[in-house]
Structure 1
Amino acid sequence: MTVKTNAADLVSVSVTGQVAHPSFSGLPAEPYRLTSEGKAFLWPTFGGIVYNVSVGDTAFGWSGDCVHPSISISNAHPDKNRGLNILSCVGNVAVVTTGAAKGAEGVVTGKSGRFSDQVIVHFDIETRRKIAIGDQILVRSEGVGMTFPDHPEVRAKSIAPGLFDKLPVRTDPSSALLIGVTATVPPHLVGAGAGLTSEGGSLHIQSTDRAELAKHGLDTLRLGDVVAFADTDSRYNNGYRRGAMAIGIVGQTDGPRAGYGPGTTIVMTAIDGALGAFEAPGTNIADLLGLSK
């Protein structure tokens, strides 16, 4: 079905960033992190160019900690980086403007980093091999300010109108907007990102208890899967509220730290039952957007 939006009124504006370098804090001097069992580990984490992890791949099993598939970008100026992060929307077109891959087009697939500090962009592997750290990526941002005239209680967040139009949607007898998802995350599995802004960054699915993940069908998630968060209000900050719901897109891999797991970008939310979900196995933006490896 078609859901009416104000897409024709949205402002499309450019934002830009550079391919980010992976980094570790200078202090404390030890680069190690701790697993949920208190064991030190040292794995790749977010940032840089990832050649062998792509949207559509499993979100679990990698020897990495919350890795971003494909390319991570940021802007060196903090205020400009905030603009890049807020205005970029999942589904936006991104273009390489410098370097050997100049002119190549990709797609924004998520927002992440520790505190909303990177945007994740998909390029096919051949293009990734041409891109270098520091290359400029321009995002044709569009989506911030999107509304649903027939569902005014539902807030759109970080989603391009073109991607929304491809999602499986329904309405129920109460006129709630229902989104097709691969799985629903119960509130007790909501992890890092709770209490932080829903305009950027990521909301994680805690994955320490693998049996509990399997119980809710979350142990087979893929990067790019569309998921629902039950009793989660993400209108401003991410937090618990009975009857609320948020819709997210899995943007980064699992990791061994307590409170973390696959990280998602929130793209819709509402309270009081105005937004719901139905089972639509396999709903993944790699398929919806035709992203090739």
Structure 2
Amino acid sequence: MSISVNTNDLVSVSVGGSIAHPGFPGLPAEPYRLAADGRPFLLPAWGGIVYNVSVGDSAFGWAADCIHPGVSIRGGDDAKNRGLNIFACLGNTAMVMTGRAQGAKGIVTGKSGRFSEQVIVHFPKSVRKDMSVGDQIVVRSKGTGMVVEGHPEIALKGLSPELFEALPKRVTDGRLEIGVVATIPAHLVGAGAGLTSEGGSLHMQSTDREAIREAGLDQLRLGDLVAFENTDSRYNHGYLRGAMSIGVVGQTDGPRAGYGPGVTVIMTAAKGELGCYSAPGTNIKTLLGLED
């Protein structure tokens, strides 16, 4: 059965930003943060150009706090940055406009930051080594306003037509089902709950490692497709029985309570209209043909 979207109705428009410098809030509290057990720690965090962590790598085990794989970009001011966060869609093409890597092309793979501050873009490692903080990157955004024909109750968020087309999917008894690597139980939903679902990320909790293993989440990789059970992300992220959200693992685990791997939600529905099925190995690195 064909599953189509309103591709011909969508507007493609440029949004852009520059490579964001990693930062810390001011003293006296920083640069140290607190782990779940109260330990102060100092580790690399989100932002900048990450040379050795990419989509497809493990979401766990790094000496880092919620690292973004590849390159993180941010708009010039808060209003422009919100436009970048909302209109950039996973699977959109990005191009470097300045610096030694000018002309190189990448792919949007996530949205993150504490309050939706950054968009994550994959570039091959050979390109990353020629990039600099402050380089300008333009994203050819397309996907905002997309709907699944015959399934108007499913909200799509930050999802490009190209990625939607590549997703493993099927319709069962009128319900759209997406192939995922794992399902995150509602009690493991962490940071991001209660915040806007337009841009940004929703984290899973990972302090209880046994619970993570029991749920089959301990082997997640950056770029994996996952489902959040009983989670409604139409407007804000929150608990609702029967709801489901589908997303892409966009950033790594971290030591802080509530900040396990971050997930960029790409679709959601409130009353059982959206489902999932097991599809091991489903990762956007393969779906989008991302180069190492």
Could you say whether these structures have the same fold, taking a TM-score greater than 0.5 normalized by the shorter chain as the test?
yes
Deviations 1:167-187 (A, max 9, x none): 0001112x0100000000000
State how far apart, in whole Å, the 2-side matches of 1:35 and 1:18 are. Answer: 30
What value does the CA root-mean-square deviation take over the aligned residues? 0.7
For structure 1, which segment, 220-229 or 144-153, has the greater mean C-alpha deviation from structure 2 after superposition? 144-153
* Contact 2:74 2:119 (C-alpha < 8 Å) held by counterparts: yes
Deviations 1:80-124 (A, max 9, x none): 011001000000000000010000000000000110000000000
Q: Secondary structure at the match of 2:30?
A: coil
Tell me what 1:79 maps to: 79
Q: Secondary structure at the match of 1:49?
A: coil
State how far apart, in whole Å, the 2-side matches of 1:256 and 1:22 are. Answer: 18
Tell me what 1:176 maps to: 175
- Identical-pair percentage: 64
Give the counterpart letter for 1:228 in structure 2.
A
TM-score by length of 2: 0.99
Q: Which runs of 5+ in 1 are unaligned?
A: none
Q: Secondary structure at the match of 2:8?
A: helix
Give the counterpart letter for 1:45 in structure 2.
A
State how far apart, in whole Å, the 2-side matches of 1:138 and 1:53 are. Answer: 22
* Contact 1:85 1:117 (C-alpha < 8 Å) held by counterparts: yes
TM-score by length of 1: 0.98
Structure 1 residue 265 displacement after superposition: 0.4
* Contact 2:254 2:261 (C-alpha < 8 Å) held by counterparts: yes
State how far apart, in whole Å, the 2-side matches of 1:139 and 1:103 are. Answer: 12
Tell me what 1:271 maps to: 270
* Contact 1:2 1:165 (C-alpha < 8 Å) held by counterparts: no
State how far apart, in whole Å, the 1-side matches of 2:165 and 2:11 are. Answer: 17
Q: Secondary structure at the match of 1:52?
A: coil
Deviations 1:248-282 (A, max 9, x none): 10000000100110001000000111000000000
Tell me what 2:6 maps to: 6
Structure 1 residue 292 displacement after superposition: 1.4
State the aligned residue count: 292
Structure 1 residue 29 displacement after superposition: 4.8
Q: How does 1:192-231 map to 2 (within 5 A)?
A: 192-231=191-230
State how far apart, in whole Å, the 1-side matches of 2:190 and 2:201 are. Answer: 10
Q: How does 1:60-99 map to 2 (within 5 A)?
A: 60-99=60-99
State how far apart, in whole Å, the 2-side matches of 1:22 and 1:184 are. Answer: 31
User: Post-superposition, which runs of at least 4 consecutive aligned residues in structure 1 deviate over 4 A?
Assistant: none
Deviations 1:45-96 (A, max 9, x none): 0000000000000000000000000100001211001100100000000000
Q: How does 1:86-235 map to 2 (within 5 A)?
A: 86-173=86-173, 175-235=174-234
Tell me what 2:247 maps to: 248
Tell me what 1:59 maps to: 59
State how far apart, in whole Å, the 2-side matches of 1:180 and 1:268 are. Answer: 13
State how far apart, in whole Å, the 2-side matches of 1:292 and 1:243 are. Answer: 37
* Contact 1:17 1:138 (C-alpha < 8 Å) held by counterparts: yes
State how far apart, in whole Å, the 2-side matches of 1:132 and 1:214 are. Answer: 38
Structure 1 residue 216 displacement after superposition: 1.0
